[in-house]
Structure 1
């Protein structure tokens, strides 16, 4: 499909959002408001189609996945998955039912059917990806059609960077790198950048504002004093988390922009890719969302580098398969995607789910839901894995991956309540179901292991009932076919590893790709190292995800913790205590397996070794030293690590520059310092901070009890330092959120102690 094939009368002329004139004296952290209604969607009513028709483009070239071709592709994927699953179930049944199935054997068979069906679908998707890559069908055709350079854009796009208690130097390094990359395309005037903060940590809030002012100044200097569309907004109340953050921007500024390109705090995208995506949206008026395939970069720990390697080697084939049979009923991953603003506003207003958390309240995994709601209104949701220049970072440690998974697990399980939404495309319902299954699979795998061990114990130690139905001439011998069981095990392993092996084979067969990974030998060695490491980590994640599912079903909310981007360098003692339950379970499995038979132990060895060695495995996986050691010999190296993309290098340099600027003043306050006092010590920053507060002042001020308590504490103290140090976190936030109070404190700081005031 050709996303850049122009349609008659398109692109349409648009009114540009007002921009601050260069050299303007008034400090304006935000542009003028351009409201856009974003109604909350009624999930019980079928909506009308909103997307415009696109009759002049052949069906195969259109982003809408409709008609015979897409039906054939989907039928192929499901036929392969179902046939493979049926064969696996048949072979397992024959292995278990030599003399009929017992209740425990039936349970093992049922669990195997579900789990094998899951990996069979992954296998079928990999086959689809292989077909897409080899044949050049699907998204590869659209890349060949991208003009270079892209013609001048007539639309306006806002790049949104939501952030929540992230390192400000990293966030605004992305901003500066993106500004420079867009300037090189010559089309920077078509883009504005918004940093949308939901930060609650007062010290980080002040550091964000320091970084914003520095980034604005640096960007203006680099662009010859020309105006740069760079804005910052911090919400007073971070309702509905990231989804609410973006929705608030849409309702406030959305009508000024045709598209919004959503980043995560660790996202990066080349200027050429950003411009190409905007051009694609101009020429495809029925495309509501275009999702890129972000490549993992900047990993330093062993786990992060292994994830990078896996994403670089296997990710393209998996993503090509998804795009090949999903078509325009694709999905949204929450970032590194461009969205038609009006379509999003009209179709994707999220309701609050009835009931209590964790299954009620705000929708956490909002991206899947927003994509499904846009598709039910007729907008195409397209995946473009062959578009390069899109990047993100991965979690550095096993614990960080588990913390992220806990939040995703809760959000995906919420989707069970959305399966009945009226008007959804059946593939959108499948996306919800697959998201749920991706986490439910963990406790099912654990149950399968336990059932398998119990089955082995029963065969070894429990005296069988040879005559279960009264007198017979011949006894019933409980028996499992060992040869067929071995065949099932090896077949399952083959289906599990086949997508990886296919990706490896394709990469080895293409000299250019092989060289970018450092050569065939390093590619094969990296494949082996990644497979071994992930085999050891998989049992750890199984237990973490099983616990997450249990906690959600028990009614425990995940909360909202910021994502850690750097490894924390925990001591081995801390890691050992965290993974002690994993170790104990591994020892139980090992003891039981050895008690039954050595072959059972070796059959379970990947799980046993991972669990028993949980602490050292997790410590090694989260180690920068281990990651650097393999990097020195070229193992697990990706093309982006060997030759860093220009946008990644720009972001590194920008982060270093910003860190140098922010080592002095309020932004350099340590965690124990008082952020209010640090702000008051910087008059220029204080003035800008108050200007931002005035710009975002609520229409109707309401009584703030926390601020009143803070003012009471300050008023009773003659010593300003003591008064400010006596404020708790909520009171500090209230003071920092009120410009009049800050000005009063600044005046009092200059005037000195009031005569006759209490001494503290």
Structure 2
């Protein structure tokens, strides 16, 4: 058998070459990214954005409209409760109502602004390829790399077909820490780079220690290669972006020297399960009008959603070096929902953060089931509540502070609504159990006990439902008038009804899960960092029972309690209780791909993107099949050790810049090495120990040499 000739060890700062077994990376081009001070800030002179009267007027309409509408509904609620003298529980209900209805009114008024918003100004970008280079950044973490890498290939081919390929490079930035997934990534990249059209523009960097999650992943790229790319376009593992959209973003950034970030509004595609298709339909029908309203009053102080956005690298590097927050998790430590904060810091430094809601060709995928949706929500909940401690960040624009508050309120609204329901039950219970006080202190013609105006309460309920559903109604009307909806308009009506029915049933489940998440966070429980599940695999009934049994139990307890108090109370609460009571079969239904396909065949909740799929989606599917056939990934670590070519590639592609420093302790690596020196087989190592072995160039080389596995390695093909 041939003996392995190892690629030589490289220095940490050596510029890698593209040939052989060296990492598929360009020469290093460093850029400083200093850590920002959140307590003190001195605004840069000479970088101030002009005042916009149209944006000021839109904000005036938003806040005054919200205040007036909230005040009117709060007055009606006060009149409902103030038939007699207000008691403590009624005061609590009134306060909770004002907080909740104010949040709903804010969204409704914002959507109305979108209805009357003028179209965005036409782009003034130059024709042809941009003069400056743009890096497309694709962070991935412990997920099947086939589709993300295939999408990367399809994107580069699309840009090449437009004749602008030389202006764009794509970096796959891996933070994967599972050995088997890592090996597949390497094989996929190797297969993709076998295409001479792709190889010069597709790069791959795997961090051996994924410190600071996605923040550290993007920051590492900026500090090592950011100097060569004036712009960077951040993608997600499930992102899809048409080549003309990417080109237009680069042109807009180049045409506007004040722009620091331009965020697109991704549409949801590729949904197969009922839940994924429900979210897909809702975002497509109601989303454009809402996004239009946001764009109008955001102005140049927009927000960042973490992906499908182009960023000026200089603005990001000079503004977004995030500090580690003081204190313990979940409020201390790494800033989790970093995108909102990064947008605020970019705007703080005098760069415009814009929303390009007029651009089509930007897509992502939705979670396929409730378990994955709640898991993602849990991470977002912790990050958004963490923002409450950042509201006092020095120098932030008022709208940036509002973004942080809105993110937190989107999760605090659930426990507030739950408390409102409980307060309503307590009010009814108090009225049924506590006898009237016929001898109150002082003279009175009437006893002092909770009373409500039932007729006015029903009218108020109707008004609240109207305000709640107004964004959907307006969005649906706007969708029917959109030229892009041709071909699905008639089928949109039953889809609208089904979406609203299912959303109403799911809403109380999400209310409970988000309430539980808030309680966990407030009691110090950290969400961790898990890879997202993006496929639509069937969920076993046992898993559904374990996840939703609490929701069913809460629904049954509330239903029995309400029935014992009053049948009218049970009827009033039934919309929320039905969804909780049937949460297990409902979760099975909405996670079903078969039912989702059945709805699609009958034209229910069908979107224009399903009738005419985006070209990038079809091209990515073709690339995925070709890569799966071409990639020859070792199935395990022992298989890697027995594969001459794969082992050389693995050793050559190790990113020494992010590996363990000499003398730095690594208990996991030490435990694995001890097992190996004791004669245990590689298969006896834990998943963490296997990864630590593969991530250490010195230990892996020593192990291969010591165990003489080189005699068993196959000759190169």
With normalisation by structure 1, the TM-score equals 0.88
Report 1:246-265 matches (<5 A).
Answer: 246-265=218-237
Q: For 1:519, which of 483, 489, 498 is the aligned residue?
A: 489
| TM-aligned CA deviation for residue 185 of structure 1 | 1.2
Partner of 2:170: 193
Report 1:649-688 matches (<5 A).
Answer: 649-662=618-631, 664-666=632-634, 669=635, 675-688=636-649
Partner of 1:559: 528
Secondary structure of residue in 2 paired with 1:355? coil
Q: Which range moved further: 27-36 or 185-194?
A: 27-36
**Structure 2: how far apart are the matches of 1:96 and 1:711?**
71
Q: For 1:335, which of 303, 307, 310 is the aligned residue?
A: 307
What's the CA shift string for 1:355-387, capped at 9, x where partnerless? 011100000000000000111110000011111
User: For residues 189 and 637 of structure 1, do their structure 2 counterparts lie closer, same or farther at Cα, with a shift above 3 Å needed?
Assistant: same
| TM-aligned CA deviation for residue 503 of structure 1 | 1.1
Q: Is the 8 A contact 1:269 1:647 kept in 2?
A: yes
| TM-aligned CA deviation for residue 703 of structure 1 | 4.4
User: For residues 509 and 750 of structure 1, do their structure 2 counterparts lie closer, same or farther at Cα, with a shift above 3 Å needed?
Assistant: closer
Partner of 2:586: 617
Secondary structure of residue in 2 paired with 1:547? helix
Secondary structure of residue in 2 paired with 1:569? coil
- 1:588 has 2:557 as partner: yes
Q: Is the 8 A contact 1:514 1:523 kept in 2?
A: no
Partner of 1:373: 345
Q: For 2:245, which of 248, 273, 295 is the aligned residue?
A: 273
What's the CA shift string for 1:131-179, capped at 9, x where partnerless? 11xxx33x2x235x567xx322110111001111011102211111111
- 1:142 has 2:113 as partner: no
With a CA cutoff of 8 Å and minimum separation of 6, indicate the structure with the bigger relative contact order: 2
The alignment of Structure 1 onto Structure 2 pairs a total of residues equal to 697
**Structure 1: how far apart are the matches of 2:88 and 2:660?**
66
Runs of 4+ in 1 over 6 A off after TM superposition: 18-22
Q: Is the 8 A contact 2:207 2:658 kept in 1?
A: no
Q: Is the 8 A contact 1:694 1:739 kept in 2?
A: no
**Structure 2: how far apart are the matches of 1:495 and 1:752?**
72
| TM-aligned CA deviation for residue 587 of structure 1 | 1.1
Partner of 1:107: 92
Q: Is the 8 A contact 1:65 1:326 kept in 2?
A: no
Q: Is the 8 A contact 1:50 1:378 kept in 2?
A: no
Unaligned residue ranges in structure 2 (runs of 5+): 1-13
- 1:578 has 2:563 as partner: no
**Structure 1: how far apart are the matches of 2:477 and 2:416?**
32
Let me know the Cα RMSD of the aligned residues. Answer: 2.1
Partner of 1:309: 281
| TM-aligned CA deviation for residue 267 of structure 1 | 0.5
Q: Is the 8 A contact 1:665 1:682 kept in 2?
A: no
Partner of 1:541: 510
Q: Is the 8 A contact 2:660 2:696 kept in 1?
A: no
Partner of 2:192: 215
Partner of 2:7: none
Q: Is the 8 A contact 2:16 2:27 kept in 1?
A: no
Partner of 2:36: 41
**Structure 1: how far apart are the matches of 2:16 and 2:325?**
40
User: For residues 50 and 157 of structure 1, do their structure 2 counterparts lie closer, same or farther at Cα, with a shift above 3 Å needed?
Assistant: farther
| TM-aligned CA deviation for residue 216 of structure 1 | 1.1
Q: Is the 8 A contact 2:191 2:627 kept in 1?
A: yes
- 1:155 has 2:132 as partner: yes
- 1:421 has 2:393 as partner: yes
**Structure 2: how far apart are the matches of 1:740 and 1:104?**
68
**Structure 1: how far apart are the matches of 2:39 and 2:307?**
28
Q: Which range moved further: 640-649 or 464-473?
A: 464-473
| TM-aligned CA deviation for residue 696 of structure 1 | 3.9
**Structure 1: how far apart are the matches of 2:144 and 2:255?**
37
Unaligned residue ranges in structure 1 (runs of 5+): 1-17, 54-63, 670-674, 754-760
Partner of 2:4: none
Partner of 1:730: 688
| TM-aligned CA deviation for residue 655 of structure 1 | 1.6
| TM-aligned CA deviation for residue 596 of structure 1 | 3.5
Partner of 1:80: 65
Partner of 1:243: 215
What's the CA shift string for 1:518-557, capped at 9, x where partnerless? 232x111100000111111111111110011001100000
Partner of 2:9: none
